[in-house]
């Protein structure tokens, strides 16, 4: 509904595809975009940060060779992904005023209110001032010049500016511990400043432009949102006044997680975002 109410002229040039395919280790989602008829794989905003943050996680080393623990990690990761996909779909349906869509994978949920993350989603919406209105959900955007497509979970419009497209960009996250350090290759487990780690440590950025940034989930999500903002402002005639990462994982009855909203400060990532775009621009 929202896509029809608020279409953009660039919408017809991009399509997001995520078919489930069978791989060597089981079924997986094959995410890719089609832009102007050309297929784009492994070049989305979500995967861009991998060029700046080395991912040298060694499961065998981290688990001390425990194969059962490694299998458990892989299983839990797949479950977390599907858990997030399911919630994203329901959040999108709600914003578009669609009825609850029953999912046979999760037969225990038969209404929005029964979803584990629903209370956090409602709590997030209650934090919004009344002038913010739903504008787009699951909005595919792109920069052809920088070879960058991406998907915005939620865009809200500031209705105080009827003659200007002023947006809030919201990214939902259903993962846990957004501020937790990743596996650290130099074993500085207690270090919380990027410069306390070795030059080749996997806990920090691997390029000069990202060197001062810890590779924690909150920072990665913030970088992703800043890239979305640059694309919107450069190519979609929008002004983004606010960027929010909404962590909505409910946890478990034994260990509940509070809703956590992270306000992204674009100035903290300005140099990195500029470097990302300059390095990817197609030269004439």
Domain contains 210: no
Q: Number of folded domains in the chain?
A: 1
What are residue 263's phi and psi, to 5 degrees? -85, 115
Domain, as residue range, for 272: 2-180+216-280
Domain contains 189: no
Domain contains 188: no
Helices 217-235 and 270-280: crossing angle in degrees, nearest 10, is: 60
Q: Is the pLDDT of residue 246 over 50?
A: yes
Helices 67-95 and 118-126: crossing angle in degrees, nearest 10, is: 50
Least confident residue range of 144-158, 182-196, 248-262: 182-196
Amino acid 55: pLDDT = 63
Q: Tell which wins on pLDDT, 202 or 79.
A: 79
Which of 221, 51, 230 lies closest to 43 in space, CA to CA? 51
Q: Is the pLDDT of residue 59 over 80?
A: no
Domain contains 209: no
Average pLDDT over residues 79-88: 90
Beta-carbon contacts of 155 under 8 Å, excluding residues fewer than 6 positions away, are 135, 136, 137, 139, 167, 168, 169, 170
**pTM exceeds 0.85, yes or no:** yes
Amino acid 187: pLDDT = 58
Domain contains 195: no
Domain contains 90: yes
Q: pLDDT band at 76, cuts 50/70/90?
A: confident
Q: In Å, what is the CA distance from 282 to each residue of 37, 85, 143, 279?
A: 18, 33, 11, 9
Helix (H, G, I), strand (E, B) or coil at 136: strand
CB-based contact 215:221 (threshold 8 Å): no
User: For 162-197, what is each residue's pLDDT tens digit?
Assistant: 999 999 999 999 877 777 766 666 655 556 677 777
Domain contains 207: no
Domain contains 84: yes
User: For 110-136, what is each residue's pLDDT tens digit?
Assistant: 999 999 999 999 999 999 999 999 999
Instruction: Give the H/E segment covering residue 80.
Output: helix 67-95
């Amino acid at each position: 509904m929202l896509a029809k109410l608020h279409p953009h002229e660039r919408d017809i040039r991009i399509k997001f595809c995520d078919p489930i395919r069978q791989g060597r280790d089981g079924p997986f989602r094959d995410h890719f975009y089609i832009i102007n008829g050309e297929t784009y794989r492994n070049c989305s905003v979500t995967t861009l940060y991998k060029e700046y943050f080395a991912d040298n996680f060694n499961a065998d080393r981290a688990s001390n060779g425990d194969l059962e623990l490694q299998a458990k990690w892989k299983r839990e990761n797949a479950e977390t992904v599907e858990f997030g996909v399911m919630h994203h779909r329901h959040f999108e349906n709600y914003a578009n005023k669609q009825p609850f869509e029953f999912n046979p994978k999760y037969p225990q949920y038969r209404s929005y209110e029964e979803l584990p993350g629903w209370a956090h989603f409602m709590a997030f919406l209650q934090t919004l001032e009344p002038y913010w209105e739903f504008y787009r959900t699951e909005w595919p955007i792109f920069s052809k010049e920088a070879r960058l497509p991406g998907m915005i979970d939620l865009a809200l419009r500031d209705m105080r500016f009827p003659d200007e497209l002023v947006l809030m960009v919201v990214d939902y996250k259903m993962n846990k511990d957004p501020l937790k350090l990743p596996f650290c290759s130099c074993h500085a487990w207690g270090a919380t400043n990027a410069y306390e780690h070795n030059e080749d440590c996997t806990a920090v950025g691997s390029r000069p432009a990202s060197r001062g940034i810890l590779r924690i989930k909150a920072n990665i999500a913030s970088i992703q949102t800043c890239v979305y903002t640059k694309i919107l402002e450069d190519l979609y005639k929008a002004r983004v006044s606010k960027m929010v990462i909404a962590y909505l994982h409910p946890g478990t009855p034994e260990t509940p997680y509070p809703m956590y909203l992270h306000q992204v400060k674009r100035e903290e990532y300005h140099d990195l975002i500029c470097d990302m775009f300059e390095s990817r621009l197609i030269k004439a």
